[in-house]
Amino acid sequence: MNEFEINIKAKRYCSINELDEADRRLLEAANMATKTSYAPYSRFNVGSAVLLENGEIITGSNQENNAYPSGLCAERVAVFYANAKYPNVAIKAIAISSAVDNKINDSEVYPCGSCRQVLVESENRQDTKIKLIMGGAKSIIVIDSVSLMLPFTFDLDKMLDSKES
């Protein structure tokens, strides 16, 4: 047996004002997107904003449904819409924010496992890193690549390798 550690580098900010202008604009767009969330069951409004290589910002918000799991997370709403509207334009960054009762939560919010998988596949498909900005009113975490959030990703190459064995 070999034991090993996986470490990631992340930056933590205490205020949106500490971010550079592009990241601040993207997080502000995610904050605004929380207002379009449909979350009558959880009351946990999530917004996301995707920055594309062409400068466009696409937003998304979580959309719940009482027939769980028929809803969709904010991150996937934004990424799928961006890919549908601009299929050949790379995603540079994604910001995620959450709110309850129209107030941005103090702590940052993290993508769920399904969203992490979609984000990693987007990164792999475009063969460039996607910066991830996870925002809160008093704590913001930024990492340089979404793949750092899912080090043991479900990967097509690994599936094909196992079929060849």
Burial of 25 per CB tally in 10 Å (0-12, 13-18, 19+): middle
User: Which residues, at least 6 apart from 165, have a Cβ–Cβ distance to it below 8 Å?
Assistant: none
Cα separation, 87 vs 14, in Å, equals 35
Outline where 34-137 has alpha helix (H): 74-85, 113-126
> Which residues are identified as catalytic?
75
Alpha-carbon dihedral sign for residues 37, 39, 45, 46: negative
Measured in residues, the chain has a length of 165
For residues 75-109, b (16+ Cβ closer than 10 Å) or e, as one string? bbbbbeebbeebeebbbbbbbbbbbeeeebbeebb
**Cα-Cα-Cα-Cα dihedral of 77, 106, 42, 84, to 10°?**
0
